[in-house]
Chains A and B, each alone.
Chain A
Amino acid sequence: MDHIEIRRVNYEYKANERAVTALRDVSFGVAESEFICVVGRSGCGKTTLLNILAGFLAPTTGEVLIGGRAVSGRGLDRGVVFQDFAQLFPWRTAQRNVEFGLEMKGVPRDERAKTAQRFLGLVKLESFAGAYPHELSGGMQQRAAIARALAYNPSVLLMDEPFAALDALTRDEMQRLLVDVWRETRKTIVYVTHNVAEAVYLADRIVVLTPHPGTVKAEVKVTLSRPRDPLSMSFVECQKDVVGHLR
């Protein structure tokens, strides 16, 4: 059985007194420890879908199951990383940010510090544990945000274009790091992006969403072995395949 099951999810909202369908009949599963990318142009409902998975929004009809249990609202079984660098708490150092979820779980102080340091190490930020977010670069802030989302040990990591606002070089570095983190932690990842090359680099499987209303157009399995070479023929072929579905 899949770790995440999305079953015939519909999402409607009202705009100017008119009902707008953001998602129609979206169904797919995500296996345990699988890395899924949801790809689509802006307005296709991919962020809405992620917000439903995170529990920020409730589907109009349909349901989402994680580990066999229906999602209703937020939960510590999921970690969320947003695009906005400002997601870290400015009044907490990198380490104290990472400790936040553990604090909420009631983990004692010493253990909290140890766990936080371990996850900061995982994202290569151990020497910045005492730095405040405004003292970190954009890439470092996003790494800290990943560490924070993982530290309280959720089974699922939800990511909403976390690297979209970074420069290309930093983004490449972050993608490599994320793959390493994923291999190390074996989390189930749902990663939303509009960047096809990024999706092909990261994902085991790509779910293509098309807009008006948001529906699953195709699912593309990426069988390339890791680490992937974005300049190889097979990589480019796969990219073409996904882009074809987006047209």
Chain B
Amino acid sequence: MKRFVFGTVASFGFAAVIWEAFARSGFFSSALSPSLVVIVPALVQMVVSGTIFVHIAYTLYRILWGLGLAALAGVPVGILMGRFKAVERFVLPLVSVLSPIPSLAWVPVFILWFGLGNAASVALVFYAATFPIILNTWTGVRSINRIWIRAAETMGAGGGELFWKVVLPGSLPFVIAGLRQAFARSWIAVVGGEMIAATSWGLGWVIFDSKEFLRTDVMLGTLVVIGILGLGFERLVFQVVERRTVGRWGMVRTAGA
């Protein structure tokens, strides 16, 4: 823990110094690249007024719904692809065609379908998150140690039991890797989506809206918030889940930061 705090402080301090040097270099006017002396108070003010929490809540709501639905759809599809050649042959071409299309390219389509608001953003996150989950889970199932399947089948496991008790835990390191990647992609999708499709709430909307009023301090403050949320999820969700499952089981080395 102490080492984590030290490492984090060091790397953040480094980034702050670089930014401050850039902001004060006069490359852009101070209105365009505000100093931390301006950004931090703007951030504090959003915290004190509470508006930032409402924005965070909206954005997280969209991410968690989209990501949750993507996991519910993506993990079973990935497992079926890994287990059954026929499913693989059917699904893989679709995944290969759809996954390189940037989620943001769908924004206009989703706005027409779902209108402005939560539904469009959730759909966007779902789109962005599903494919990394499918592809990683599929890889996980294919790289599972065959001897586990063989041993389980010897003991009479088949069908659903084999799925839940062997295939899923056996491919969990990859499933978690897929969720991590999907989470990162979700942010891209949600912030982009909110810039265009959201009304009045959400971190992406704040960033976009601040541009209208040249509030670069709010803009950059919000970027910092997104970064901190990402770090929080990595530390408090992904690493904790990993430590308690695949790390505890000796299937992966646990992350140190």
Contacts and interface: CB of A to CB of B under 8 A. Distances in A.
A binds B: yes
Interface of A: 54, 56, 74-76, 78-80, 82, 84, 86-87, 89-91, 100-101, 103-105, 132-135, 148-149, 152
Given A56-B150, A80-B151, A86-B147, A133 B250 contact: yes
Contacts, number: 65
Interface in B118-145: 145
Contact of A135 (B151, B245, B250): B250
Interface string B186-224: 000000000000000000000000000000000000000
Contact of A89 (B154, B161, B169, B248): B169
A87 B224 CA distance: 47
**Closest 7 pairs (CB-CB, A-B):** A134-B250, A101-B155, A104-B156, A91-B169, A90-B249, A91-B249, A80-B154
B23 interface: no
Contacts of B250: 90, 132-135
B156 A87 contact: no
A103 B150 CA distance: 16
A132 B248 contact: yes
B233 interface: no
B242 to A, nearest CB: 13
Interface string B218-257: 0000000000000000000000000001101111000000
Contacts of B172: 91
Contacts of B153: 74
Q: Counting chain A CB atoms within 10 Å of each CB, which of B148, B156, B250 scores highest?
A: B156
Contacts of B157: 100, 104
Contacts of B165: 100, 103
A107 B189 CA distance: 48
Most chain A beta-carbon contacts within 10 A, residue among B148, B154, B155, B172: B154
A80 B161 CA distance: 19
Given A56-B150, A76-B155, A101-B155, A86 B161 contact: no
A104 B246 CA distance: 23
Contacts of B154: 54, 74, 78-80, 149
Contacts of B169: 89, 91
Nearest to A158: B154
Contacts of A56: 150
B156 A74 contact: yes
B147 A89 contact: no
B152 to A, nearest CB: 7
Contacts of A84: 147
Nearest to B251: A90
A92 to B, nearest CB: 8
Contacts of B249: 90-91, 132, 134
A238 B31 CA distance: 94
B59 to A, nearest CB: 34
B95 interface: no
Nearest to B246: A91
A149 B245 CA distance: 25
A109 to B, nearest CB: 15
B133 to A, nearest CB: 20
8 contacts: A54-B154, A75-B156, A82-B151, A87-B147, A104-B155, A105-B156, A148-B155, A152-B156
Contacts of A82: 147, 150-151
A86 B245 CA distance: 17
